[in-house]
Amino acid sequence: MKLWDKGVELDSIIERFTTGRDTELDPALVEFDILGSIAHARMLASVGLISADDAQLLTGELRRLYSRAAKAGLRIEPGVEDIHSQVELMLTRALGDAGRKIHTGRSRNDQVLLDLKMFMRASIQKIVGSINELAECLLRLSEKYREYLLPGYTHLQIAMPSSFGMWYASYAESLAEDLIPLQSAYRLVNRNPLGSAAGYGTSLPLDRQMTTSLLGFEALNINSMHAQMTRGKCERTLAAALAGVASTLGRMAADICLYLAPNFNFFRLPAELSTGSSIMPHKQNPDVFELLRAHCNRLQSAPMNLTLLSANLNSGYHRDYQLGKEVIMPIFGELEESLRLMLHSMPQLQPRVGIMDDPLYREAFSVELVNEAVARGLPFRAAYQKVAHSMQDDDFSPPTRLHHSHVGSIGNLGNDRVAAALKAETERFRFHDVERCLQQLLQED
């Protein structure tokens, strides 16, 4: 079954090529297709395009399909083009002519776009939840190891004292900031395209604001032509925001790989997290972090991939957009797994105590001596020269205590502020508004 079927059998080679990976990817859209259809049926009845009885039949059967899909999914049958065709086929089998009315005032274009937006919206919510869990874990570890000093580096040369507390918290704050571009992407996604049909509206008297409210969208894609032009734009913007999260994770994984090297030896890697060598019995390889780094680097290619897919397309719908699904939909699973693996692994890494006691790092304390002299009244440049000369003359004794008190320093991490920022940025998504609307859709009229 095809929603556009006119009774002419399509060449099998062309059919396989044009279907692409839809049968593989579409099952992830089924619950959203059903929810969109419930809202659409209720709207059609409200404007008199279908009867109240038909709307009740449709919404009742759609809720049964939703329950079935939520438990075990829905299989796309052989010969059925996609999940949208499958849902309509099942409605028609169960309800006859009433089932055939569900596509009134709707094109597959706005139907697919609606499903994708709802899928992306729900997937963002899961990613935000995982970001929160990892950031909160890092803040706990920061507090636990806040007194453990760690060398700080610039240009990969020893720079100044840092700490494990600062290191963990830096990535927690980075994740909190990653939520900001993700909010912008979410707001683009959280706009209702339903009723734009194939991109030019319809002569039927649809109530597009009603479906916007029923489906919990923040706003409506007003212009029907623009609604279709958001295909590609939303995916590209969202991929860039997700790539920002991947960049944070990838950098953290790169740090860990470096810090686990014997030349650094800042962490101890439990054997349970490492792999070995087939020839070298002593090896404990940090493969999990190397693969996390690779996954995150690959994820950062997605925005360019999506940009090139739509780079030379004029206005209106093009089948090129189908390939965008193959880029954006798998990203969520790959990033979610990366976040989960990092969350699982981080508490098991064991920071080493007393790293900065090694004479190798004594010069990292030079700025402390400069600042002590400045605090006694010596001009900074003079203090700098004095300490530099003492180091050249090998008359340098690093301080035994550190005095870092400003917010964000190793003596005052400001983790409470980072936690508050994380909470505030998460609340700006207002996920509960969407959840409430969708739950109401699934309740009996």
Task: List where CATH 1.10.275.10 sits in the chain.
Answer: 12-103
Model pLDDT for residues 242-272, shown as the tens digit of each residue: 999 999 999 999 999 999 999 999 999 888 8
What pLDDT shows up at residue 12? 66
Rounded to whole angstroms, the Cα distance separating 27 from 16 reads 18
| pLDDT(225) > 50 | yes
Would you state the CATH architecture of domain 108-357+414-441? Answer: Up-down Bundle (1.20)
Model pLDDT for residues 108-135, shown as the tens digit of each residue: 999 999 999 999 999 999 999 999 999 9
CA distances from 291 to 191, 249, 274, 287 (A): 36, 11, 12, 6
Task: List where CATH 1.20.200.10 sits in the chain.
Answer: 108-357+414-441
Would you state the CATH architecture of domain 12-103? Answer: Orthogonal Bundle (1.10)
Ramachandran class of 77: left when φ > 0, alpha when ψ lies in -120 to 50, beta otherwise = beta
**What pTM value is reported for the model?**
0.92
The overall average pLDDT reported for the chain is: 91
Rounded to whole angstroms, the Cα distance separating 96 from 425 reads 48
What pLDDT shows up at residue 425? 97
Yes or no: say if 440 and 191 are a contact pair by the CB < 8 Å rule: no
